[in-house]
Amino acid sequence: MATSKSRFLTAQWRNLVMLNYEVDPEILKPYLPAATEIDLWEGKALVSMVGFMFQDTRVLGIKWPFHVNFEEVNLRFYVRHFDGKEWKRGAVFVSEIVPKSVIVFIANNLYREHYRTLPMRHSITKQGPNHTQFLYEWKLKGKWNKLGATVRNSLTPIKAGSAEEFIFEHYWGYNRLTDYKTMQYQVEHIAWHIAEVTDFVFEADIKELYGDAFVPYLDKKPVSAFWANGSEIAVRIADKLLLDPVLPG
């Protein structure tokens, strides 16, 4: 895996909750970056509601005051890009929520992400001797929205070829710039360990957050619910992919 670009951001991503939903791929096309295609799992287009913790965050090696440890919740889907030699599997973010305005400014302007700032909080609660609940909340229009999972206190590695591998093992990010230009950046981390999800919660104003198109799909039971412990990560400085437009003859 090429690592020619310098590290832009380093951090730890911890306690990742992923609720995964099948959607009509047509609703993803407005967000699909040039030079990528939707990556299907067993013929299905999936999106994931994701909650996790940023910890020990550094931008260009610097810890920004009050922007070191914070929550993030995002909605993402999965794509792949062929670079002429191999397929690169990546994620595209429809929307991301954090409680820190500096992160929003940097990510939206330098990486063309889709962050917004909202009040957030999280909790980790023991549920008896064998389970733990991880809960992420954000305040929208005066109401606390929530995303969380209760998991068994037993870690296992991700199995090759599994649904968990499809959801968690993505090492590239892609953002649509124009019809012919895409931003690409590399994400590095070790393979994570997972734990069985025994219960989950997702209560949110889907229409306000993501628009009418996502309501019928996110307003029902997910097809799967996963949790991973996370690790140290690094995001490399982004570059651009250019797709030659097809000119009329």
Q: What is the pTM of this model?
A: 0.91
Does the pLDDT of residue 4 top 60, yes or no? Answer: no
Please tell me the predicted confidence (pLDDT) of residue 95.
Answer: 93
Model confidence over 191-209: pLDDT tens digits?
Answer: 999 999 999 999 999 999 9
Model confidence over 159-179: pLDDT tens digits?
Answer: 999 999 999 999 999 999 889
Does the pLDDT of residue 248 top 70, yes or no? Answer: no
Does the pLDDT of residue 136 top 60, yes or no? Answer: yes
Please tell me the predicted confidence (pLDDT) of residue 3.
Answer: 46
Please report which confidence band the pLDDT of residue 240 belongs to, taking 50, 70 and 90 as the band edges. Answer: confident
Does the pLDDT of residue 226 top 60, yes or no? Answer: yes
Amino acid at 202: F
Cβ atoms 95, 74 nearer than 8 A: yes
- What residue has token string 């039971």? 221
Question: Where does 7-241 sit in CATH, by number?
Answer: 2.40.400.10
Separation between Cα atoms, residue 211 and residue 188, nearest integer Å: 31
Does the pLDDT of residue 183 top 60, yes or no? Answer: yes
Does the pLDDT of residue 145 top 90, yes or no? Answer: yes
Give the per-residue SS3 of 112-150.
Answer: CCCEEECCEEEEEEEECCCEEEEEEEEEECCEEEEEEEE
- Beta strand 193-194 with 156-157 is antiparallel
Please tell me the predicted confidence (pLDDT) of residue 102.
Answer: 60
Please tell me the predicted confidence (pLDDT) of residue 2.
Answer: 46
Residue 100's nearest CA partner among 138, 141, 147 is 138
Model confidence over 65-121: pLDDT tens digits?
Answer: 567 899 999 999 999 999 999 999 999 999 999 997 666 556 555 555 677 899 999
Please tell me the predicted confidence (pLDDT) of residue 5.
Answer: 72
Q: Can you spell out the DSSP letters for 57-74? A: EEETTB--TT-SSEEEEE
